[in-house]
Amino acid sequence: MLHDEGIDVNTAAALNIEKVLFHTDLTVYDTFSKLKYRIVPIIGRNNEEQDILYKIFDRLDEKIKKEEKTIIETMVSLTTDLKPNCYGRKD
């Protein structure tokens, strides 16, 4: 995804991201939209790249929210479609 936008992450940046994530409370920074403020400055070499990266992180969050919604809707549909068996339980 980043490569498609013309952004390459070199080895040094990848190692710095790993260090930052290791010291980050992921219960607080639990979305890409929150993590972007810690990671983008490591990757983006200028304001233009950083703006692109911020938008990518926001799109990732939107995509995850849509997928979570689909999964929940599917699970609800599957549970409500179950019919009781002869013992009164739903299988």
* 91 domain residue, yes or no: no
Cα separation, 81 vs 77, in Å, equals: 6
Contacts of 52 (CB under 8 A, 6+ apart): 5, 7, 44
The whole domain housing 31 covers 3-81
pLDDT category at 81 given cuts 50, 70, 90 is low
Cα separation, 39 vs 32, in Å, equals: 9
Task: Tell me what the pLDDT averaged over the chain comes to.
Answer: 87
> pTM for the complete prediction?
0.71
* 36 domain residue, yes or no: yes
- Among 41, 38, 25, 36, residue whose Cα is nearest residue 58: 36
**Greater confidence, 5 or 48?**
48
* 88 domain residue, yes or no: no
Amino acid at 40: V
Mean pLDDT in residue range 37-57: 94
pLDDT category at 25 given cuts 50, 70, 90 is very high
* 86 domain residue, yes or no: no
Q: How many domains does the chain have?
A: 1
